[in-house]
Chains A and B, each alone.
Chain A
Amino acid sequence: MDSHLSSIVLKEIENKSVVWFQNSNQYLILENVVAEIVKKLYYENNIEEIAKTLKKNLAIPFEKAFDFIIDIDEQIVKPNKTIKKSILVQNSDFTIPSSFEFIKYYQIAQKVMKVSYSSEFELSLIHPKFAHLEVTKPKKINFSFQTFNNTDHTYLVLDNELIGSWSKKDIHYFQGKFSMKIIESVYEKLEEKWMGIFHASAINHQEDSMLILGDSGNGKSTSLALLQAHGFHCIADDFVPIDDAKNIHSFPAGISIKKNSFPILLDYYPELKSSAEYHYERLNKIVHYLPPKNIDYKKSFPCKTLIFIKYDDNIEFECKEISKLNAFENLIPDSWISSISNNVTVFLNWFSSLSCYQLTYSNNQLMIDSVRKLFKNDL
């Protein structure tokens, strides 16, 4: 990409500025004055004029103002003008196997996907989360994946077109791309029509939705399962797609339930006891997958609230509004945000309109009541 054609997007949030650089796809949270300087440097680059204004506004010596502007240019503007987007080099040296050990069919909305797995390894990466959607051989197939290993990479082919290949250390990107291709196919929207994918759980009540966020192990999925058992609908777990019209869409993967959540959930989901168990030794956990209920693919929902959730044995219940910037710092490193500048503008406008909360609990009923109140805007 020609760096002269790239752009930046600025958005003021809570008296600071968020600046996004297209060339590096980085977000910076800056003081408003500095953001204005960055913008001027990016598009005009008249360092002396900018330094004169800063000297006047801050009543500091000109050379200090000048040095400051140079530092901003060197540290923030120049690196973000020159970094090129990394070009993904695809490993094209591969052969599609002539036969596959496992062939599965899954129904999502009105569409059927076929997935051909060359070995148990690929099967283990995909199938557990989608097993509840499996159907026996259907008459019509809408889209067809093939996945196989070759020279230590896992390949993904969709309708005879190579999507990509990933090493073992990047295998979560293989799974992410697989999920992305599902939503592109099911909703018939290409990647550029999606604003982002959040690592969150999404619930809906009536016409609204909320995202539940938090580090792994903080109880996102358990909270989601509890809320689902109390009248809320699960929209998505772990992989939450939002489109460029700011609507959250359903994603039907199973809700990942750790075995240590069973004492909380078995009363509501006795079927968990007999469901398949997956041992993730590296992560030292045992997981079952709970099928989400009542998924309605025809509906998508606006989202006005983020809840950062934490299960803590020592705290019965605490819920407080947190700063959007604090939420932003936590959200960005864990999310894929479209790097198309129009989508970034939509994303930042959407984000600035949200309410963000931190909810810490061990009393399930109080957590459920507070989410109900948040939906009613009554907390």
Chain B
Amino acid sequence: MKNQDKNTSKDISRKEALHKIGDYGKYAALTALGTYILLNPKKAQAASPTNPNTDF
């Protein structure tokens, strides 16, 4: 299971957001039902990172 927190990132890819419930082999109906996408909004209001003195 890879249900880790992916807060913050706007670089999140669909692959990272995509999750699967269990492994049901030949039971295609369950396999089809078991795919879901997990999305985290930003934890607070943010601006675009564009500042000159934060080059670290």
Contact = CB atoms under 8 A, between A and B. Distances in A.
A336 B37 contact: no
B29 A71 contact: no
B29 A176 contact: no
- How big is chain A's contact interface, by range? 35 or more
Given A26-B38, A172-B47, A75 B53 contact: no
B8 to A, nearest CB: 8
A29 B39 CA distance: 8
Interface of A: 25-31, 33-34, 58, 60, 64, 67-68, 71-72, 75-76, 79, 86, 120-121, 124-125, 168-169, 171-173, 175-177, 179-180, 196-197, 199, 215-216, 238-239, 256, 278-283, 287, 328-329, 332-337
B21 A334 contact: no
A33 B32 CA distance: 11
A17 to B, nearest CB: 10
B49 A283 contact: yes
A253 to B, nearest CB: 9
The CB with the most chain A CB atoms within 10 A, among B36, B37, B38, B55, is that of B36
A336 B54 CA distance: 23
A67 B44 CA distance: 37
B55 A34 contact: no
B49 A68 contact: no
Interface string B4-29: 00100110101001010110100101
Given A26-B38, A64-B24, A172 B48 contact: yes
B48 A256 contact: yes
The CB with the most chain A CB atoms within 10 A, among B1, B38, B51, is that of B51
Contacts of A34: 21, 33-34, 36
Contacts of A31: 32-33, 35-36
Contact of B41 (A33, A120, A168, A335): A335
A115 to B, nearest CB: 15
Nearest to A88: B44
A279 B52 contact: yes
A329 B48 contact: no
Given A179-B45, A196-B41, A197-B45, 6 more contacts: A60-B29, A76-B21, A168-B56, A329-B39, A336-B45, A337-B41
Contact of B27 (A60, A176, A328, A332): A60
Contacts of A332: 39-41
Contacts of A199: 10, 46, 48
B44 A177 contact: yes
Given A75-B3, A179-B45, A29 B36 contact: yes
B46 A72 contact: no
A215 B30 contact: no
A336 B47 contact: no
A28 B38 contact: yes
A281 B48 contact: no
A282 B52 CA distance: 7
B54 A171 contact: yes
Given A30-B36, A31-B33, A329-B39, A215 B10 contact: yes
28 contacts: A29-B36, A30-B36, A60-B27, A60-B29, A64-B24, A67-B24, A71-B34, A79-B3, A124-B53, A168-B54, A171-B49, A172-B47, A172-B49, A173-B45, A177-B44, A179-B45, A197-B45, A239-B45, A256-B48, A280-B51, A280-B52, A282-B55, A283-B50, A329-B14, A329-B39, A332-B41, A333-B17, A337-B41
Nearest to B49: A172
Contact of A175 (B27, B33, B46): B46
Contacts of B33: 31, 33-34, 68
B46 to A, nearest CB: 4
